[in-house]
Structure 1
């Protein structure tokens, strides 16, 4: 079975999408429509902007979403035949447009709203994330629970690679404790705040209202959502999981393992970069991977 996976924030690069825009009339039309919806020319930043400009959350999230979704649409029905989809964090929105649960326009509006709400939440309390390498998930969880302050497991990326998230001071303390517990590395990430942690509660509330007001359709194939790591097709359940996603961990390892159990034999990454197929390869070395 064919599984398509969609990357999240961090996969962006300068010049992303420019080839698509220049070579495909459909891509050009969708990029221009995106400029109208967003109210600024995101294409100028994507194609010609600096890495610094592209790193702003309000730009990064729509940019990665647009690259993924427009690439999927330009592949056409002959080459894009998903039997299951999943997205990492922000990538879940791309996956939901690609499998027909959300329209392109509604998906972009929600992603823009999500980015702005997260940016605002980041400004309330000093917060950050850190990558922990070489420890069992259960040890990372136990260390986080032992720290005084808000710090939680946020991204289960692959065995031996887990990202933690929370208040800056608590994350720093947790990093020291992770090293003492035997982690190969525990390093702070250059991010604007504590995504997928309780620190995102104000953003979750803001996004919830927008998601509730948006029409979701029954998708053409199941989405394996970050929150449940299981196949979901019911539009109401999809909405509920999307709302929870901002303050809950991304269960990527578990999602990929479940997709393989359910018959996925090839994983194709749709969007900028090759981060996800790298993670899939570490989760299961036997499975085939490809880039769209």
Structure 2
């Protein structure tokens, strides 16, 4: 290592380090850095004195200002509850129809309901409510138990096939597994069921299969789905004449449904959501369906 010398251009001493003729200068720390460090230190000391800062076992230094985030949070919660009470009491007291006619209340329902739906329902039904395989589309007009807010509220409250003592109960029997129908009979029923919503899908199927499927349907399925296949909301039996399918409308999916049966579960929310939240969520879901083109 070479002996330190003064750089003729900058006037600073070198450190004595040399890399291929490039010498390192021994420059002092810039004043702006010292000012920044000093300002930071002063700020820290002032903050420690004024604000809660140092842990002391089970407690902490309170600071001269005596600020407590618990008190701040509590004040914010009380302020929010006060703002909420202005419209919450109206929603609790008014009927569904009266609320739906009040544009300001419905704006509140949409705002609050979207949060409730996202926190509790979107994981199964999607953020847009359009559902997916095994989960109903809530944004259309097809409802298993009815789409009026009152009916939606009841479904939310007790669930479907849930452990609630008043749960709605619905089950699609396993006609194949339980040997109630043979495979050829199920195939014919599939053909007939497809014809109810999409006649073009079975245009190439034998008329004999279609007629046989209708006969089997009348004998085994009409008691729940109605003779015309339009379903029965009082039983939670879906309408087979529309284009809304929970488990799929292709032949294999319909065959699997008839052969193995279905028993979807909708959890009940009575113990998880307050009556006010259930009412808001019911209105929100009904409004979501009403907005579908």
Name the TM-score class by shorter chain. Answer: under 0.3
The one of the two structures with greater contact order (alpha-carbon pairs below 8 A, sep at least 6) is 1
Q: TM-score, normalised by structure 2?
A: 0.24
Q: TM-score, normalised by structure 1?
A: 0.24
Computing the radius of gyration from Cα coordinates, the structure with the larger value is: 2
